[in-house]
Structure 1
Amino acid sequence: MFSANLENFPWLVYIGQIVDILLVTYVVYKLIMIIRGTRAVQLVKGIVAIFIVWFISNFLGLSTLEFITRQTATFGLLAIIIIFQPELRRGLEQLGRSRLFNSRSAQKDDALKPTIEALVKATVYMGKRRIGALISIERETGLNDYAETGIPLNAHVSSELLINLFIPNTPLHDGAIVLKNDKILAAGCYLPLSEDSSISKELGTRHRAALGVSEVTDALTIIVSEETGAISISKRGTLYRDLTKEQLQDLLEQNLLKPSTATDNRWQWGGKKDG
């Protein structure tokens, strides 16, 4: 009945078709943005090549080749789900982090301001003394899976506690700290290492772990190099290196606070992705 009523308003049908095309275009665009810069790009090229061969073999009557490619395409959906599992997970997490589900409050931002100050103070202190550190900050995607690999603390964030946890030759210094809001969930945690082969060879395990967790979550991870004292931050598969104190604070405020409570962006980010 609804379709019959639409026939009386042909302009509604045209509008519906336009909206349909726009939605499909948007979905395809988002999929491209999700897989851009990942190993999934090469897999997509392989899938496209299979369909091209399928079409050509069907057109030329190459029955054996057509049968092989048809069977590959038939069972390809399951293979795609298995192969693209990290990308599918990333896409679903991005959907869950959309504004529709974002309920960040001003009170939460007020609680985070002292946390950011403590993080900056501790990071700069450790950088000057070349104390290696790895601090992963939870945003929308939960980090409980990684926190469970370490020693639970549930302690209030302070610069003194952060520094003491990373002092060399102490039980918890060789691992990551996981933060949630203004609490340290756990210390001595294990983070997934990035499998990207294009990462610079000069980067060690801490940087690879920071990139690894940023590839599967939206967490911000602070790294202090034990060799050089350089401060870096990983975010969504990108590594921002050699940060100053001001740059570190700006980046934390821009990503952890609401735009209205963060400081003005005084410079454009030029971070490069090592991986």
Structure 2
Amino acid sequence: MPFADLFSDLTVLDVVTNAVDILLVWFVIYKLITVIRGTKAVQLLKGIFVIVIVRGLSNLLGFNTLEWMMEQVMLWGVLGIIIIFQPELRRALEQLGRGRIFSRGNLRENEEQDRLVEAVTNAVSYMAKRRIGALITLEKETGMGDYIETGIQMDSMLTSELLINLFIPNTPLHDGAVVIHKKRIAAAACYLPLSESPFISKELGTRHRAALGVSEVTDSITIVVSEETGAISVTKNGELQRNLELEEFSKLIRREWFVGENETVTTSTGWNWRGKKNNG
């Protein structure tokens, strides 16, 4: 039968229905993959693919005993999957009941953003209270590979405990900047360019000048904790916000790090992010 004859009896409605059906199946498969991504179910899926391939090869090569074994594994494997992954299946059904099964990817991303902001905020809060000097740069679009290479390579998970330990006085890595690259601690003890602006206050030290300097040549966000006063400052695009309260610092970091430049954050000092005095 010619290939074209397969579609000769299909109406336009049949074609549209089949196309929508295929798209829905692919959409469901894609969403299921995003749900199990990062869980132990991924390893299970790999194992299923291996079993299917071995079963097909054994049938092709005539390995009857091996084929029978793979058939038994596939036959009883469904029951094993239900028993082993009972907690995950229950959680997925609960999310389906709440209508959240297909928003799992965004939920995970939001949870990760919350974790990162909380880690940075907790570390800055701890160091500010104890007047531990700190310089932390959050990379955005502009690559900071040149500055990362000047420090000690780490590629570590971003946690508040690790950030605090890196800036404890008289430790090997406390002097210099920590650069956060792709939401991970890329390097510590990095050298940043000092700003040569003549308008910088004389009371600002090397950390603030370095923070301003790197903000003048990249789109990064740089956090400074003053060793003398414990004050929290943030720089971006050559602008400096000083003496931030912890709550407004956390909001500013979240919006500038993950949302972008479309929103401004007005601080208690009366300055918004773009450095213009708030007349309200």
Displacement, 1:172?
0.4
Deviations 1:33-92 (A, max 9, x none): xxxxxxxxxxxxxxxxxxxxxxxxxxxxxxxxxxxxxxxxxxxxxxxxxxxxxxxxxxxx
What residue identity is the alignment partner of 2:220? A
Displacement, 1:111?
2.8
* Unmatched runs of 5 consecutive residues or more in structure 2: 1-104
**Residue in 2 that maps onto 1:200:** 201
**Residue in 2 that maps onto 1:183:** 184
- Matched residue SS, 1:200: coil
**Residue in 1 that maps onto 2:250:** 249
- Matched residue SS, 1:179: strand
Are the equivalent residues in 2 in contact too, given 1:146–1:189 (CA < 8 A)? Answer: yes
- Matched residue SS, 1:257: helix
**Residue in 1 that maps onto 2:259:** 258
Are the equivalent residues in 1 in contact too, given 2:147–2:190 (CA < 8 A)? Answer: yes
Deviations 1:191-234 (A, max 9, x none): 00001011000000000000000000000000000000000000
**Residue in 1 that maps onto 2:159:** 158
**Residue in 2 that maps onto 1:29:** none
What residue identity is the alignment partner of 1:226? E
Distance 2:160 2:183 in 1: 12
Are the equivalent residues in 2 in contact too, given 1:152–1:185 (CA < 8 A)? Answer: yes
Which one scores higher on RCO, CA 8 angstroms, separation ≥ 6?
A: 1
- Matched residue SS, 1:188: strand
Using the size of structure 1 for normalisation, the TM-score is 0.56
**Residue in 2 that maps onto 1:219:** 220
Structure 1 vs Structure 2 CA RMSD: 2.5
Displacement, 1:109?
5.2
Displacement, 1:115?
1.0
Displacement, 1:266?
7.4
Distance 2:109 2:145 in 1: 19
What residue identity is the alignment partner of 1:130? R
Distance 2:266 2:232 in 1: 19
Are the equivalent residues in 1 in contact too, given 2:173–2:188 (CA < 8 A)? Answer: yes
Distance 2:189 2:214 in 1: 15
* Unmatched runs of 5 consecutive residues or more in structure 1: 1-104
Deviating runs (4+, > 4 A) in structure 1?
A: 105-110, 263-269
Displacement, 1:258?
3.1
- Alignment pair present for 1:232 and 2:233: yes
